[in-house]
């Protein structure tokens, strides 16, 4: 008797890179409209988020989807009406970077304050985020405006 094992062909590095780039781009789009369910669907269960603000060397750290979700919702509330515009999203393997502009108010309002920022993502083999670190320029002004 011959037994045949069915297996998927190995995933190429370029396939994984493309999927990770797509995940990062989807995250920027989901943050732009504060779609918390979409955002969280792109995170692995065992994940960490390092906030742009906080006392630690990596900012405030949130571990696990429940804590990350809560942090994002608090951030959405703190910022009020806001959106993001993606500038660039790049990936290599399971590492991705996204640069974006945070806009306090509407994107079509020329008087809305704008802040450049970036995210560094590490992802697993399923292109799910396991680590997100964020940075934003003008953080002191941003925090003053959001208060």
Stated pTM of the model: 0.85
Per-residue pLDDT reduced to its tens digit, 11-60: 567 899 999 999 999 999 999 999 999 999 999 999 999 987 767 767 78
User: Can you name the CATH fold of 13-146?
Assistant: Nuclear Transport Factor 2; Chain: A, (3.10.450)
Closest CA to 101 of 77, 89, 118: 118
Domain boundaries, the chain: 13-146
Give the whole-angstrom CA distance, residue 58 versus residue 85.
24
Beta carbons within 8 Å of 51's beta carbon, 6+ residues apart: 59, 60, 61, 62, 71, 75, 134
Q: In the chain, what is the straight-line distance between the N-terminal and C-terminal CA atoms, in Å?
A: 72
CB 116 within 8 A of CB 91: no
Give the whole-angstrom CA distance, residue 115 versus residue 82.
11
Per-residue pLDDT reduced to its tens digit, 60-86: 899 999 999 999 999 999 999 999 999
């Amino acid at each position: 008797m011959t037994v045949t094992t069915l297996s998927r062909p190995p995933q190429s590095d370029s396939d994984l890179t493309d999927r990770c780039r797509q995940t990062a781009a989807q995250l920027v789009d989901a943050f732009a409209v504060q779609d918390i369910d979409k955002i969280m669907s792109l995170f692995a269960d065992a994940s960490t988020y390092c906030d742009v603000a906080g006392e630690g060397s990596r900012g405030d750290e949130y571990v696990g989807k429940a804590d990350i979700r809560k942090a994002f919702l608090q951030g959405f509330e703190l910022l009020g009406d806001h959106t993001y515009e993606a500038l660039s999203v790049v990936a290599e393997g399971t590492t991705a970077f996204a640069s974006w502009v945070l806009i306090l108010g509407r994107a079509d309002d020329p008087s809305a304050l704008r802040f450049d920022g970036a995210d560094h993502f590490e992802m697993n083999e399923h292109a799910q985020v396991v680590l997100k670190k964020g940075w934003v320029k003008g953080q002191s002004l941003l925090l003053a405006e959001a208060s």
